[in-house]
A and B are shown apart, each in its own frame.
Chain A
Amino acid sequence: MRFTLLSQAATEAAGGTAAWVALAYLVSGVLFILALRGLSSPATSRAGNRYGMIGMTIAVVTTLLTHSIASLPEIIVALAIGGGIGFVIARKIAMTDMPQLVAAFHSLVGLAAVLVGLAAYLNPDAFGIMLPDGQINPVSRIELGLGIAIGAITFSGSVIAFLKLAGKMSGSPILLPGRHVLNLGTLLAILGLVAWFTQDQSAWVIATITVLSFIIGFLLIIPIGGADMPVVVSMLNSYSGWAAAAMGFTLHNTAMIVTGALVGSSGAILSYIMCKAMNRGFLSVIAGGFGADASAGAGGAAREQRPWKRGSAEDAAYMMKEAENVIIIPGYGMAVSQAQHALREMADVLKKEGVNVKYAIHPVAGRMPGHMNVLLAEANVPYDEVFELEDIQSEFAQADVAFIIGANDVVNPAAKTDKSSPIYGMPVFDVDKAKTIFFVKRSMGGVGYAGVDNDVFYMDQTMMLLADAKKMVEDIVKALQH
């Protein structure tokens, strides 16, 4: 069965010259730019998302209209299956699970790129990359080889990131002996094979590139610890973009190239922001193993016992009710215990009492960029009460209460003073300037992901609220309503 929707256009498009086809892809590329542009403010963001959807529709429809299609029913079924699965997942996923969902989605883009690359290798004529002698154009071979390699790295790397984020695999770094040599060797072998591919297009070359790239993606991510996951997720985001761009080069498709460049730079910028917020070099994150040595040291050396004060929900309720300004600092612990709704309820009661409540979010709070903002938005916290580090830093001096819930390293003053600390140089909130500090924490045992002790625990104005975050906040709400 053969469907030809627009046979004339199809013949023209085969040469890639039909001007309107190119124009349609350009329009869809521009719509994708507008989709990202919309995210500059929550007010314009939804319109932006619609532009993205329109852009995607144009790209898909244009492709279907301009190719003679030998298998329309299969394609429709494939779209329906994938679309159905995607839609159901998007509906059901809990907001706390967003980091692993995004990692899972990255892996799909990566695998799709690998499949498209292999299909192009098997049927170069359909992709317009075949020379008259039946060989694949050498330039296209480089693009294909790189596209497949990046796609495969994205896939296996994202699968590991997904397993770590979903807690199906230990978040602690797994360090293989000689991993740097192994990784570098594998990467060089992949590049060498891509170069060899331009001379020899036999199947074993492309197969080996694919397999080695799957392996290197796996090797690159296993040594990276849980706290570095925001960087990893952003980095894989970037890779999925470069994979799409490489396929765009092969297909000479503007929409794919523009999108690939957008997504690639987006992920790269996010990785940069995350690294900067932790004061870590990108390379040292990628080299992995952060936290592994530090936690070993903390176990060996006897940590000095310093006095600390334990507070109760009633203490917190009383102090915050009397306060003028309260700043709440949420961290990953809030996400784990799903305390965001209870937290918003607490803020509502306080606001009724005339207290000025603000939220302070560190760029690396949570497991992916913007993770805390989404959770607070889910709990109906208005976004104009939520502030970034640099916007709220000066207000701690006027704050009566700093309420730290599930965060630790981002308030550790050692980052400012202790040059030997693994988190030295990381920008942190000046919570020590607040008159009173409430620190919600499960126990005094755990000391954050960096494995360093936190002076804030032992300060005169600090009261430790040791309990599950959600339970504690609910108790405070009860105490407030008395």
Chain B
Amino acid sequence: MDFISILSIFVLACFVGYYVVWSVTPALHTPLMAVTNAISSVIVVGALVASAAAGSPSAKWLGLGAVVLASVNIFGGFAVTERMLAMYKKKEKK
């Protein structure tokens, strides 16, 4: 992919983000932060690429370190979001 296609995806995604996030109800802003935390750990993709490749042992260990950090976030972020969302309940109908 050339730089301009990537940039296009990025700019369009910023607009999608803008509209999607404005539609999030303020009551769920804390879960929003927790889940954005979890998904920004998609950086684990880069960490996996670095740790999978042969050729540079130091790059591999840096990558493995990043895998550990990112996976703390992925599992922790999704799990804590799930825990929070499970607490939001509607009024019981009488």
Contacts and interface: CB of A to CB of B under 8 A. Distances in A.
- Same assembly: yes
Interface string B33-59: 111111111111111111111111011
Contact of B79 (A87, A234, A249): A87
Nearest to B13: A261
**Which of A36, A69, A74, A256 has most chain B Cβ within 10 Å?**
A36
Nearest to A26: B9
B50 A35 contact: no
Interface residues of B, number: 82
A392 interface: no
Contacts of A55: 39
B71 A52 contact: no
Interface stretch (A159-167, A300-308, A375-383, A451-459): A375-383
Given A42-B88, A52-B35, A59-B42, A122 B54 contact: no
A63 interface: yes
B78 A115 contact: no
Given A90-B83, A108-B70, A247 B46 contact: yes
A149 interface: no
Contacts, number: 388
Contacts of B72: 82-83, 85-86, 89, 105, 108
Interface in A92-113: 93, 95, 98, 101-102, 105-106, 108-109, 111-113
A446 interface: no
Contacts of B11: 261
A202 interface: no
A45 interface: yes
Nearest to B3: A139
Contacts of A32: 39, 42
A67 B47 CA distance: 12
A85 B76 contact: yes
B36 A237 contact: yes
Contacts of B33: 102, 233-234, 237, 266-267, 270, 368-370
A66 to B, nearest CB: 10
Nearest to A265: B17
**Which of B27, B32, B47 has most chain A Cβ within 10 Å?**
B27
Interface of B: 1, 3, 6, 9-11, 13-14, 16-18, 20-56, 58-60, 62-92
Interface of A: 2, 16, 22, 28-29, 32-33, 35-37, 39-43, 45-46, 48-49, 52-53, 55-56, 59-60, 63-64, 67-71, 74-75, 78-79, 81-87, 89-91, 93, 95, 98, 101-102, 105-106, 108-109, 111-113, 115-116, 118-120, 122-123, 125-127, 139, 233-234, 237, 240-241, 243-245, 247-267, 269-270, 273, 361, 363, 368-371, 373-374, 377-378, 380, 382-386, 388
13 contacts: A49-B35, A56-B44, A70-B52, A83-B74, A90-B78, A105-B73, A123-B53, A123-B60, A244-B40, A256-B46, A263-B37, A266-B32, A370-B28
Given A263-B17, A370-B33, 17 more contacts: A2-B54, A16-B1, A36-B21, A37-B20, A40-B24, A70-B54, A86-B72, A87-B76, A109-B73, A118-B62, A119-B60, A122-B58, A244-B40, A262-B13, A368-B30, A369-B30, A371-B30
